[in-house]
Amino acid sequence: MNHLIKYGIYSLLFAGLFSSCNDSKFLEENPETFYTVDNAFSTSEQVDQVLVGCYSHIRVMTCMVEENMTAFAFRGGNGTDMFDVATIRRSSRFNDYGILNPSNEVYYTNYSHWYQLISKANLALYAAELPQISWGSEADKAYVIAQARFFRAFAYRNLGELYGGVPIVTEITTTPQYDFKRTSRVETYQFAIDELEAALNDLPETTNSPGRLVRGAAQHNLCQLYIDKGVALEEAGQGGEAPAAYAKAITYGNDVIDGSVYGLMTERFGSRKDENPDFYYANIESQQTPDHLYSAAGYPIEGNVYWDLFQEGNQNYQEGNKEAIWVAQIDYDAYKAEDGQAKLQYTRVYGPVYRDPMSAHLSGALEDVGGRGIVQTMPTMYTRDVIYDGKWGKDMRNSEAVFRRTFLGNVPTSPYYGKPVPWSVIYRDGESQDAIDVAKTQCFPVSCKISTDKYRGIADGENRSNLFRDEYLIRLPETILLRAEAKMRAGDNAGAANDINLLRKRAQCDYLVQASDVNVDLILDERARELVYEECRWNTLLRMGGTIAVDRIKKYSYWNDPRATLTKNFNLWPIPQVVIDTNKDVVMEQNPGWN
């Protein structure tokens, strides 16, 4: 784990060293030419750049900047109840427990990412206290420290949810260490809680800088952490202490939801508030003419406020979006001019591939078929259909603008040209099981969160693989669902139902839930409806405790792998085997079910 902790330090120090020394000076025995952690910083702006590195780190982890199995699992939910893999991606399946073990790269890469973030936060905290650093004000310094403590807490919250009790590292280190000791899951959560509560008053309620942390982000995380702590206490046989934790979760949820800063967007707003989405049924750009629009063919799509939430230019609080609490910043100009990372690879990673199994009716990779997707992970039937069965169907989040299910044939020789292709045709009903599997795992409804009718940068060579809107890291509806969960766990099902109905009323649902409906499954279903392609579903399932993750993975997986191979119960990912093996001076125990 040593290299994880040093990552942030050495990247900064070596950058400074080699950019500041020419060859002859480098050979001179003059210690002043060498940087250490104590003399590498001379201004407060340099300390803030470490925080910029933290924000960038979060963006890499959450915006599919890294197109690999770790991102598909952690951010994409691959292997959960909500997402699985297509036939063409079977080699990257993440629910075959005949082959999943603690040496899998996903567990190690994700674990490493969190400790890299911790090392950067620790470096910022150390540098902020160096005597040579001058601050514009004590408030400026306090804000830097508060942001660093938030990042450290955020990392430990995620580590606790995914891996349980982990080593708590609070200082920078430049020497190898092989004796890290695990804490308990409760202790890991408590450390994160203490960090956030210490930082809370030094985080502003609002800021003029989009993407920067605010108090609501800490309060939201505290709401979640106290739920996590309560569940962990119950799992540890300390259930008598859990009610106090749930009460604290509700209090922090109240601070966000009932304060004067945030509110659900209930009316159309933003950059496209007077527009409706529209598509051309066309498989080449030359066919994208007005007479080929869905609206011209008699299939108009009505925009709505939920669709507005995911249109470019609408994500930030500073842009008038009152449910935006923390937003990762995506910038097309920076993407083209700098490192190529300021993008959302959502269309590419999440998007369907109609062009292969449906080439006779739906071809190409233009807007009408969801862009240039390569279906690295795909929504299960639970995500696309089950949660909208029966009385749950009338829901703005299930509307054509938000979760598009109507696809007009775009191949001139198709009998469905300019007309909806039936799902029985898309899913190849009546054909071989192999043909059905290919179709069902590569063709599915398209969310406005992963695709658009107006891709940016086509004239510059972009190919409808990326989105360039900013991305929510925390949105008020998730806080509302956390408070609903806390109320349920505290025994207030009526209060939980009222919270859930705040979202269902905004979504203009026909059915409003009753207290008798409220249970863990309802919470998870409503999270799926509201937060699909937003939440980290593995965190959600594992933090629920018990056998909830295992039960739902077995029930809703598209493929039979987990039903055949998942013979154990677990609510934690394994500690990566390389971490256990490297920690040679102290035995680090593996999580239950993974030995």
Q: For residue range 70-79, what is the model confidence (pLDDT) as tens digits?
A: 999 999 999 9
pLDDT at 25 over 50: no
If you search the block for the tokens 């909830």, which residue do you land on? 548
**Three-state secondary-structure class, residue 579:** helix
Residue 341 CB neighbours (<10 A): 15
> What are the backbone dihedrals phi and psi of residue 554, each rounded to the nearest 5 degrees, phi first?
-65, -40
pLDDT at 328 over 70: yes
CA distances from 500 to 176, 488, 524 (A): 49, 11, 11
Per-residue pLDDT tens over the stretch 387-427: 999 999 999 999 999 999 999 999 999 999 999 999 999 99
DSSP 8-state class, residue 573: P
Render 133-177 in DSSP notation, one character per residue.
Answer: ---S-HHHHHHHHHHHHHHHHHHHHHHHHHHSS-----S---S--
Determine contact, residues 60/112, Cβ cutoff 8 Å: no
Q: Which amino acid is at 489?
A: R
pLDDT at 338: 76
Residue among 67, 54, 346 nearest 211 (CA)? 54
CA distances from 388 to 75, 397, 484 (A): 23, 10, 20
Per-domain boundaries in the chain: 1-184+570-595, 272-302+331-465
* Distance in angstroms (rounded) separating the CA atoms of residues 351 and 374: 6
pTM: 0.94
Which residues does 28 contact at the CB level (< 8 Å), separation at least 6? none
Per-residue pLDDT tens over the stretch 162-209: 999 999 999 998 889 999 999 999 999 999 999 999 999 999 999 999
1-184+570-595 maps to CATH 1.10.150.120: no
The arithmetic mean of pLDDT across residues 47-70, rounded, is: 95
* Distance in angstroms (rounded) separating the CA atoms of residues 263 and 301: 27
Element (H, E) at 25: helix 23-27
Which residues does 205 contact at the CB level (< 8 Å), separation at least 6? 214, 215, 216, 261
Say what angle helices 185-199 and 138-163 make with each other, to 10 degrees.
160
pLDDT band, very low/low/confident/very high, at 19 (cuts 50, 70, 90): very low
pLDDT band, very low/low/confident/very high, at 490 (cuts 50, 70, 90): very high
DSSP 8-state class, residue 421: P
Residue among 195, 192, 175, 174 nearest 183 (CA)? 192
Residue 42 CB neighbours (<10 A): 12
pLDDT at 29 over 70: no
Which residues does 38 contact at the CB level (< 8 Å), separation at least 6? 130
> What are the backbone dihedrals phi and psi of residue 349, each rounded to the nearest 5 degrees, phi first?
-75, -45
Q: Work out the percent of the chain whose per-residue pLDDT is above 90.
A: 91
pLDDT at 306 over 80: yes
* Distance in angstroms (rounded) separating the CA atoms of residues 178 and 584: 6
Q: Does 12 or 133 have the greater pLDDT score?
A: 133
